[in-house]
Amino acid sequence: MSASVNFTWDDLQYFLAVARTGQLSTAARHLRTSHATVSRRIDRLEFALKVKLFERNPRGYILTAIGQRFVETAERMELETERLQADITTGGAAHRGVVRLSAPEGFSNFFFAHHIADFSARHPNLSLELVTIQQIMSLSRKEADIAVMLDPPKAGPYQIEKITDYRLSVYGSKSYLAGRPPIRRREELLDHPFIGYIEDMIFAPGLDYLGDLHPGIKPRFQSSSIFAQLTATLNGLGLCVFPHFIARNQPELQIVLGGEVALTRHYWLVQHRDFISIPRVRAVADYIVATVEANRQAFLPGRTRA
């Protein structure tokens, strides 16, 4: 770039926000500013560089080929800025800004949400965005800074770390089970209506439980929401598979075939390698790992921490 190019680091922050979200309104929300300000900053940056960074269309802002290349440069500058800030500040003051975490609904609402107050107390300058609709988030497009996943990507520019196994079992409400013969064998599950995920909307193979119980099980009620499944189960609609960390806080739930049927799944922490060294992202990653470890018994009953 020639010496005559005139733009500021703030302009690059606006550029990266739009590049990562594709929408002025979403970028404005991230930056705590207005839609018009973001548009004006992008126009100013393009004018200063004398290149077109985005194609504008009704669906949003799409990076041009030059814009794609410029993202790499801007992200390197962002990373160096974060490192410099970490060097000249200490403690929580080094962790500023917004971090978007993508995590499954069950993990988010029945575990992590209970620890957000503690996280905020430790990192008062960090703003956390928690997205539970994982199928709309893409780490490769950097729509999230960090993710907790059941099935991590097989390849790509990611750092992947298993944070825990977790146990699942079959449950029914006490009122539902009280009026029926005891269930003593796996085959007897076929005599009961089941609640589960909508088959063609299962975004992670790890959520496909019923086939592991018995190939003949066909759910009577299906929902993409674990909240809806829990509500249906508590209202006596039938049997359902739940993680222990959800079921343990529901005194109305009773385990079925506890000695015979137990499933195990895994949670993985996934980060784009470009974000690993950013202090605010590292702070969230470290907190998730430490909090899960401190609550290992919730995920694996009967296990104690090493």
**DSSP label at residue 22:** S
Q: What is the pLDDT of residues 207-233, one digit of tens each?
A: 888 888 888 898 999 999 999 999 999
Check residue 306 and give its pLDDT.
40
Give residue 248's pLDDT: 94
57 falls in which pLDDT band (50, 70, 90)?
Answer: confident
In 3D space, the residue among 29, 49, 47, 51 whose CA is nearest the CA of residue 38 turns out to be 29
Kindly tell me if the per-residue pLDDT of 3 is higher than 50: no
Radius of gyration of the chain (CA): 23
Q: What pLDDT is stored for residue 7 in this prediction?
A: 66
Pick the more confident residue, 63 or 277: 63
- Single-letter amino acid code for the residue at 265: R
The predicted structure's pLDDT at residue 138: 55
Average pLDDT for the chain: 85
For residue 77, pLDDT over 90 is answered with no
What's residue 144's pLDDT?
78
Residue type, 71: V
Single pTM value for the model = 0.70
Residue 243: the pLDDT is 96
Per-residue pLDDT reduced to its tens digit, 125-183: 888 989 887 654 555 556 778 899 998 888 778 889 999 999 999 999 999 999 899 99
Query: If pLDDT is split at 50, 70 and 90, which confidence band does 2 have?
Result: very low
Beta bridge partners of 250: none
Under the phi-then-psi rule, with left for phi > 0, alpha for psi from -120 to 50, and beta for the rest, what region is 166? beta
Per-residue confidence (pLDDT) for residue 22, from 0 to 100: 87
Flag the least confident range among 78-82, 92-96, 129-133. Answer: 92-96
pLDDT above 60: residue 115: yes
What DSSP designation does 155 have? S
pLDDT of residue 174: 96
With a cut of 60, say whether residue 88 has pLDDT above it.
no
Q: Which tokens hold the place of 110?
A: 């029945």
**Band (1; pLDDT cuts 50, 70, 90):** very low
Q: Average of pLDDT values for 5-34?
A: 82
Check whether 106 has a pLDDT greater than 50: yes
- pLDDT tier for residue 89 given thresholds of 50, 70 and 90: low
Contact 146, 115 (CB under 8 A): no
Q: Are strands 263-272 and 146-149 parallel, antiparallel or unpaired?
A: antiparallel
The mean-pLDDT minimum among 24-28, 66-70, 172-176, 239-243 falls in 24-28
Query: What contacts 24+ positions apart, CB below 8 Å, involve 135-140?
Result: 135/203, 137/102, 139/102, 139/270, 139/271, 139/272, 140/272
For 182-197, give one letter per residue: b (16+ CB within 10 A) or e.
ebeeeeebeebbbbbb
Give the Cα separation of 272 and 247 in Å (integer): 32
127 in Cβ contact with 30 (< 8 Å):
no
CB 269 within 8 A of CB 285: yes
- pLDDT, residue 239, reads 96
274 close to 80: Cβ distance less than 8 angstroms: no
Token code pair at residue 55: 């194609």
Domains and CATH numbers, the chain: 9-88 (1.10.10.10), 98-163+266-296 (3.40.190.10), 164-265 (3.40.190.10)
Categorize the per-residue pLDDT at 305 as very low, low, confident or very high, splitting at 50, 70 and 90: very low
Residue range 265-294: average pLDDT? Answer: 89
Q: Any idea what the Cα angle at residue 122 is, between residues 296 and 125, rounded to 5°? A: 135
Confidence (pLDDT) at 84: 65
